[in-house]
Amino acid sequence: MVMTRSPLRITLGGGGTDLPSYYREHGGLLVAGAIDKYVFVTVNRPFYPGIVIKYSKLEQVERIDEIQHPIIRESMKALGFENPQIEISTFADIPAGTGLGSSGSFTTALLRALSAHKMQPMLPSHLARLACEIEIERLKEPIGKQDQYIAAYGGITCFTFNQDNSVEAVPLRLDSETLFDLEDNLLLFFTGISRSAGSVLQDQDQRTKLADDQMIANLHYVKDLGMRSKQALEEGKPRVVGELMHEHWLNKKKRSEGMSNPQIDEWYELGRKNGALGGKLVGAGGGGFLMFYTEDPSRLRRAMANAGLFELRFRFDFEGTKVIL
């Protein structure tokens, strides 16, 4: 049996510029951090012929074309499987639809497990490219590339998305004090709202393809925020990142009407009144996790707990998608 794990992620600046409709014209840049919450995939050869797939559903089929799960079906095709005798299972620390990039993490974990099952090595760059090919090109999902890339590479990484579809991945040069500051002062709270980011990203994608001046100007601004976040972190100024998150919050609300709602706005203002310098919804959908930067975490935790929000404590993951068994 092979077991892999792939980290979920938070975005620290530049989110949204990883969509092909934007970066193919203007180039994209973002900073993302992998966290120690994971998607797991196991691949095994069962005693009996056929394909068994266990996720929120149970599938038992004879042929790859009969698989209902689109990512599993296309991943097996991409890696050259031919109606194998195989069992695939998946589970995760955090449910899907919460804004932490679970789909990209699942795809990279699956591909890594399937390639290990075939005893074929796969570098992070190849893994991320293939995961993007499956989700974006084969399945036509209106999503960007950051989830697949940060899951494959891990760490706190700056990604540059070039017009020719190539991607450059460069780990941030952080001192230990800055890293510990981020882990202590970045807090994640679950809003209780789960939804797909696809509808929000599809709106952004369509408006960018139509050369909507306001959308493109907003994305230029977000890319600049990503560059400024990278600079602040590498200069050892995490407080500035918190301030930039507030700028990002105000800008993102202009970019997509569906990114927030009155309840989320109320929680955000509560956070700001209780020590948060800035915050954002992690992911494009109007729900999932609220992330704040604060220099008074105890005060913010109390306020959010009193409002009924669950905190997800985390540390950063520097290993990326890997085989663990």
Q: Which of 27, 63, 9, 311 is nearest to 168 (CA)?
A: 27
The reply to whether CATH 3.30.230.10 applies to domain 2-173+318-323 is: yes
pLDDT tens for each residue of 92-133: 999 888 889 999 999 999 999 999 999 999 999 999 999 999
Report how far residue 68's alpha carbon sits from residue 57's, in angstroms, rounded to the nearest whole number. 10
Segment 213-235 shows an average pLDDT of 94
Residue bearing tokens 């109390």: 302
Residues in the chain: 325
Give me the DSSP letters along 192-247. S----SHHHHHHHHHHHHTT-HHHHHHHHHHHHHHHHHHHHHHTT-HHHHHHHHHH
Q: Which of 84, 131, 86, 76 is nearest to 109 (CA)?
A: 131
Annotate 196-223 with b (16+ C-beta within 10 A) or e (fewer): bbeebbbbbbebbeeeeeebbebbeebb
- State yes or no: pLDDT of 91 exceeds 60: yes
Residue ranges matching CATH 3.30.70.890 in the chain: 176-312
Residue 204: what pLDDT? 59
**Exposed/middle/buried for residue 89 (C-beta within 10 Å: 0-12, 13-18, 19+):** middle
- State yes or no: pLDDT of 201 exceeds 90: no
Residue ranges matching CATH 3.30.230.10 in the chain: 2-173+318-323
- State yes or no: pLDDT of 207 exceeds 80: no
- State yes or no: pLDDT of 257 exceeds 70: no
Q: Characterize the bridge pairing of strands 156-161 and 186-190.
A: unpaired
CB 272 within 8 Å of CB 183: no
Per the prediction, the chain carries an average pLDDT of 92
Q: What is the CA radius of gyration of the chain?
A: 20
CB 239 within 8 Å of CB 276: no
- State yes or no: pLDDT of 321 exceeds 80: yes
Q: Which of 286, 268, 264, 265 is nearest to 278 (CA)?
A: 268
Residue 192: what pLDDT? 87
Residue 134: what pLDDT? 98
Segment 294-315 shows an average pLDDT of 97
CATH topology of domain 176-312: Alpha-Beta Plaits (3.30.70)
Report how far residue 113's alpha carbon sits from residue 120's, in angstroms, rounded to the nearest whole number. 10
Report how far residue 44's alpha carbon sits from residue 2's, in angstroms, rounded to the nearest whole number. 6
Give Cα 172 to chain centroid, integer Å. Answer: 18
Report how far residue 29's alpha carbon sits from residue 211's, in angstroms, rounded to the nearest whole number. 19
